[in-house]
Amino acid sequence: MRPLRVALYTHSTNPRGGVVHTLELGDALAKLGHDVTIHAPDPSGTGFFRDTAAWHVSIEAAPAATSLQDMVTQRIEEIAAHIRSDSRSFDIHHAQDSINANALADCVESGDISAFVRTVHHVDVYPNAQLMEWQSRGIRKAMACFCVSKVWQDFLRREHECRADVVPNGVSLERYSAEPGVRDAALRAALRLRAGPVYLAVGGVESRKNTINILHGFKHALATYPDAQLVIAGGASLLDHSRYQRAFDAELAKSGVSDHVIRTGPVADADMPALYRIADALVFPSVKEGFGLVVLESLASETPVVVSRIAPFTEYLTDSDCSFADPFDAISIGAAMIRVLSESARAAAARARFGIAARMGWDVSAARHVSLYEAALGLELHHA
């Protein structure tokens, strides 16, 4: 079959898991010889947070509206207008989120495109009925759905009567490794890290990332490692996490350990490999994930991980790969943070790099996507 013309759509140009997934998939598809264009709303006009081998288009977008519903309405309209004005023809339109899926659904209904496919990373619960309807519509209207783990495949079948194909996330073993890099020392100095062990939490301060329980677990670990530091990195998001962040700030203020905690905000993409290397462990007891891309990146860097003993982590990790914790029990998280600094845990991470991470390259993910694209195109032609 000839190279495919693929349009990938993601919700932001900022560093979030779904955006990273889109960029990595686009690069891997391009390396396979396909013609890929990545589209994203770009209200800042600065483009993506990192370079990509695939062609990319910044969708003209106004600053976000005040309410989440108004912002989503605005983004759907802006993306749909962009699609209708785009003179390029694509074989596949592939949405990575509900906002883009609804814009594409609007374009299908108006006859501007024939169909689209959708990746569901995870499904959220919103107090707003319109947001819930958009989320459901973005699944319902897709010609084909993909997801990144079995737990969400089961959820989509049970709750949405949707048959989704599982396509796991990937990781680049060239980008992430344990080999010292030129940025390592400079980043350690910039973060003012001391000699004690460094715990890394990626994703900012959010309820889904379980940051308050990470803080309480860290306090428990400090009893064993009194010189330890906790680095909380990232946090770029379209959603408003201010209420949870205020609760975290209150807990941090009364914890007595604030001088051990460093919040970096979004980290430059070029510094992410170094950040994993200078950390002694990743702490990621998330309560809801599609897959947990940062877990693969950490293991590829041979940095041990603490993760929740829930799916999707239990789908691809065992006790010999990581330190599991109960995400709802801070003492369990703290105990796992102590265990994860052992020599056996570091040896397990090294094995995982050449086991789990090596099996989950972006080239494997891209090849799987191509097969599913071709199947979807066959279905579209059959029904045309």
- Residue 306 forms beta bridges with which residues? 283, 323
Question: In the chain, which ranges are E strands?
Answer: 5-9, 35-41, 55-59, 92-95, 117-120, 144-147, 164-166, 198-202, 229-233, 261-265, 281-284, 305-308, 323-325
SS3 202: strand
More confident residue, 223 or 235: 223
pLDDT of residue 236: 72
- Judged against a pLDDT cut of 90, whether residue 106 lies above it is answered with yes
243-253: average pLDDT? 96
Domain-by-domain residue ranges, the chain?
5-170+361-383, 184-359
Which pTM was predicted? 0.89
Give me the pLDDT at residue 66, please.
Answer: 80
Q: Is 165 helix (H, G, I), strand (E, B) or coil?
A: strand
Q: Under CATH, domain 184-359 is a member of which superfamily? A: Glycogen Phosphorylase B; (3.40.50.2000)
Residue type, 285: P
Per-residue model confidence (pLDDT) at position 384: 43
- Whole-number pLDDT of residue 138: 97
Rounded CA-CA distance 40/46 in Å is 12
Q: Judge whether residue 95 has pLDDT over 70.
A: yes
Using the predicted structure, report yes or no on whether residue 180 has a pLDDT greater than 50.
Answer: yes
Contact 293, 17 (CB under 8 A): yes
- For residue 166, the SS3 value is strand
As a whole number, mean pLDDT of residues 116-134 equals 94
User: pLDDT digits over 250-282, tens only?
Assistant: 999 999 999 999 999 989 889 999 999 999 999
Share of the chain above pLDDT 70, in %: 98
Two structure tokens written together for 72: 């989503």
Mean pLDDT of 1-5: 86
Please give the average per-residue pLDDT across 300-317, as a whole number: 96
Confidence band (pLDDT; 50, 70, 90) for 383?
Answer: very low
Task: Indicate the average pLDDT of the chain.
Answer: 93
Residue 382 has pLDDT above 60, yes or no: no
Show Cβ contacts of residue 107 under 8 Å, excluding neighbours closer than 6 positions.
80, 83, 84, 113
Integer angstrom CA distances of residue 169 from 18, 26, 199, 340: 10, 13, 24, 24
Give the whole-angstrom CA distance, residue 78 versus residue 74. Answer: 6
For residues 48 and 26, what is the distance between their CA atoms, to the nearest angstrom? 13
How many Cβ atoms are within 10 Å of 256's Cβ, its own excluded?
10
How much is the pLDDT for 374? Answer: 95
* Token pair in block for residue 309: 């003993």
Same fold, 5-170+361-383 and 184-359: yes
Tell me the fold of 5-170+361-383: Rossmann fold (3.40.50)
